[in-house]
Structure 1
Amino acid sequence: MDDGTQYQLHVRLTEGEIATLEAMGDVIRFPKGNILMGEGETTTFVLLIRKGHVKVVAGTPRRVVAIRGPGDLIGEMAAIRNKPRSASVFALEDVEALHLSASKWFSFLETNFRATLALIYTVQERLAESTHLTVESQLAGAQKLAKALVDLCTKGLGVTSAGKTTLGFSQVDLAELAGISTDSVKKIVRPLREKGILSVGRQTITVLDLAKLESIARGDTPTS
């Protein structure tokens, strides 16, 4: 019988669970730009990100559907479903990950009920992310780009100094992240540069005014 008590599930792996996995897997490293796993592959290994961030890319044209970082699992559902991978994963920076075979991943889940519950919760969260992306696809290009840039800043993927955050992403990268064309990115960035919100360098973009960018992402401020 339900006693009305609300329980808060710790949805990330605990230190004890990570220690268990560390004893079962092998640490591997991927230089920036390298592929960790490819869409359509029939491999079944699982990776636990220890250091660095990765982008999850799917579809044609390619669209960045998620960014994952330390403590996140990738590839865990392909191991369970034994189906081809639904997305490719690339290192956004130098990445260190724990490699687990499917058999070791199954063994871990069979003996760690709490972690299995957390995995179910994570799957539901990622389904919600996918739905959110579908809704965002209807937004104007400027709002999509602003949301992508704000997301990168809040995930700590840039170098921040004196209130400015420099991100190591080209305009082609930003097009993938926002789900718009490279030409659209160039057109959107131009007025943002003129207004002192962004500056663009070689393979970098610097957020000069995060508050204004957040306002554009919410749809509160026009870009032109």
Structure 2
Amino acid sequence: MLSKLDDSKLKLLAFTSRLVEYRAGDYLFYKDDPADDVYLIMQGEAEVMAKPDCDEESCTEKVVLTRTSGDLIGEMAVISKQGRSAAIRARDGLKVLRIEGDMFVKLLTSNSDVALDVMRQLSDKLAEAQETNNLLQRQLSTQVCGGP
């Protein structure tokens, strides 16, 4: 994404964003948190968490996806102006470029190459989510129907 920006936009991004480091197990944000920033992974891995196993007292979180260097996190919520759809935590030492949501939207609206790159990443994420959903549905069906 950054390679598609000209020097003036890179400088503006450098002044309006910051490099943040997280330790293993630290959360960047939780499900339903307000969407005020987008994160670009510079180094390390982040885990997308879900709470599939809940009862009245607690929920057990499960890693459903992993994001790595070069991936964006949180862009869907910033674009849609909705709360976060999942919790994200650092798998290991994680370095991210934290981009203010308003700045990210300006980057998209003023640079068609960046917007197209983000749309491609979103499309890939939707396809991956659909594949994961299909796998979980098959596993659930197997458990409910008494399969192996």
Same fold (TM over 0.5): yes
The 4+ residue runs of structure 1 with deviation greater than 4 A are none
Letter of the structure 2 residue corresponding to residue 88 of structure 1 = A
Structure 1: unaligned runs, 5 residues or longer: 1-12, 141-224
The percentage of aligned residue pairs carrying the same residue is 25
* 1:37 matches 2:29: yes
Distance in 1 (CA, whole Å) between partners of 2:65 and 2:117 is 19
Q: Which residue of 1 aligns with 2:143?
A: none
Instruction: Kindly state the Cα deviation for residue 25 of structure 1 after the two structures are TM-superposed.
Output: 1.1
Across the aligned residues of Structure 1 and Structure 2, the Cα RMSD in angstroms comes to 2.0
Q: Which residue of 2 aligns with 1:221?
A: none
Residues 43 and 131 of structure 1: CA distance in aligned 2, closer, same or farther (over 3 Å): closer
Q: What TM-score do the two structures reach when normalised by structure 2? A: 0.78
Aligned mate of 1:15, from 3, 8, 21 = 3
Higher mean displacement: 90-99 or 19-28: 19-28
Q: Over residues 71-111 of structure 1, what are the superposed CA-to-partner deviations in whole Å (9 max), with x where a residue is unaligned?
A: 11100111111111000000000111111111111111122
Q: What TM-score do the two structures reach when normalised by structure 1? A: 0.53
How many residue pairs align between the two structures?
128
Letter of the structure 2 residue corresponding to residue 30 of structure 1 = Y
Letter of the structure 2 residue corresponding to residue 127 of structure 1 = L
Q: Which residue of 1 aligns with 2:17?
A: 25
- SS for the counterpart of 1:90 is strand
Distance in 2 (CA, whole Å) between partners of 1:79 and 1:91 is 20
Structure 2: unaligned runs, 5 residues or longer: 54-60, 141-148
Q: Which residue of 1 aligns with 2:94?
A: 95
Q: Which of the two has higher C-alpha Rg?
A: 1
Higher RCO (Cα < 8 Å, 6 or more apart): 2
More strand as a share of residues: 2
